[in-house]
Structure formats: C-alpha cells, structure tokens
Amino acid sequence: MKAWIPLMLLVSVLGSVAHAQSTCTYPRAPDAIPDGATATKEQMIAAKNDVNRYNTDMNAYLDCIKQALDAATPKDPSKLSADEKKKALDQEKMLTQKNNSAVDELQAVVGRFNEQLKAYKAAHTP
C-alpha cells in the first residue's frame, strides 16, 4: 500500500500544476509603442495606459506561474521514485523558464516605452 502513496502524491501535484497552467493566461504585449520624437501627448498617454495594463496582466500571469511552481514542488521528495522526481524537476524547470521568459519580455516592453518617453520629453521640452 505504501507504494501507492508517492504515485498518488505525484498525480495530485501534477494535476494541480496542469490545472494552474491551463488557467494562467499569457498577456498580449501592447501592439506598438509610438516614436517619442514624433508622438503626440495623447499617443504617449495611450501607450502609457497600454503598458500599465500589460504590466498588471503580466504580474497576474507571473503570480499564476509562481502558484503552479509551488504546486509542482514536492513537499517530501524523498518519498518519490527516481522517475517521479525527474518529472517533478522537469515541470519545475519548464515553469521557471516560462517565468524567466515572461520577466524578460516585460522588461523589454517597459524598457522600450521608457526610451520613447525619454525621446518624447526631449522633443517636447522647451
């Protein structure tokens, strides 16, 4: 009977992770960030709002991935077989990669907006 406990634990953890992953919705980045040197104030405000929405949505996605990662981490890995440990580690690696890719994209989008905001201010400051 003890052999079934690790298997049931793994099935439970992977089921939670699969559910969490299916509910984590990757946000869509803003379509375009206007050229700050030629953009109007209204265009820059609209871009700021789009980037803020994206930032909020991406942080919700990252929170969801963190919950999935927490669920994928076995509470007592010593009770898992080698195959179960490998599956759990593979799942953790995949979720960590998703997290890191999302953070990289978020930083790139915000960085592009900040560059254009700087260009806007330079072009519109007397």
Which segments within 1-126 are labelled E, that is strand?
A: none
Q: Using CA atoms, how far apart are residues 119 and 76, in angstroms rounded to an integer?
A: 53
Residue 35, pLDDT > 60, answer: yes
CB distance 116 to 34 below 8 Å: yes
Cα dist from 111 to 81, 117, 121, whole Å = 45, 10, 15
Task: Return all residues near 107 (Cβ < 8 A) that are at least 6 apart.
Answer: none
Domains of the chain: 4-22+45-124 (1.20.58)
pTM value > 0.85? no
Convert the pLDDT of each residue in 14-23 to its tens digit: 444 444 445 8
What pLDDT digit, counting tens, does each position of 95-117 carry? 999 999 999 999 999 999 999 99
